[in-house]
Chain A
């Protein structure tokens, strides 16, 4: 069984640019959640997608947006990048009746 995968592993962008991060959920999982983890902090919930619809959102501005596809993979898009967007972005998937979220290895985004 393949776990949660994320791409790319690392990414460097310039302030003002746009970025797309990708996540493939674990087999049999239909829910994907995205988290932002700043250096030295715990992850912060960005939003969750369930059956291609947004199902809850944290305290992040609209320039953070997402998509979920019919195969339950997901994208996180961030527009107008700011220096403070530099962080590890974690994706997690869960089963329809699951309690546990399974995390991917993350994408390290650096904004210069």
Chain B
């Protein structure tokens, strides 16, 4: 069974600064998908970024980028130029196949300090 671990229950960052959220996972699969989802107080889960395990290049989406270390089973999220709207719960998630069930971590609450 796959497991996803987020060891930082809470993080805070000054507006406009950079913050990195950590995630590790465990799986015996060689191909899989990793995701970072954002859940603001409105509760709706929004996809921030995804990474296919077979791709060596780290994914980037505007201010969001990941550091994917397959051998270490590590998948961290870097948020650059943090904005007040980035405040939310961030969940790391794993899926063994496209569209298949997601296994989530316990989340990291990100606070942006004005």
Contact = CB atoms under 8 A, between A and B. Distances in A.
B101 A48 contact: yes
A101 interface: yes
Q: Size class of A's contact patch?
A: 20 to 34
Nearest to B44: A105
Nearest to B4: A42
A90 interface: yes
A103 interface: yes
Given A48-B100, A99-B50, A42 B44 contact: no
Contact of B50 (A56, A94, A100, A106): A100
Contacts, number: 61
Given A106-B43, A106-B44, A98 B91 contact: no
B104 interface: yes
B43 A105 contact: yes
Nearest to A56: B101
B25 to A, nearest CB: 12
Contact of B91 (A42, A92, A99, A104): A42
B113 interface: no
Interface string A24-44: 000000010101000011111
A97 interface: yes
Given A41-B106, A42-B91, A100-B50, A88 B101 contact: no
Interface of A: 31, 33, 35, 40-45, 48, 56, 58, 88, 90, 92, 94-95, 97-106, 108
Interface of B: 4, 33, 35, 37, 42-47, 50, 52, 91, 93, 95, 98-107
18 contacts: A35-B104, A40-B106, A42-B104, A43-B45, A43-B102, A56-B101, A88-B43, A95-B99, A97-B98, A99-B52, A99-B99, A100-B35, A100-B47, A101-B99, A101-B102, A102-B47, A105-B42, A105-B44
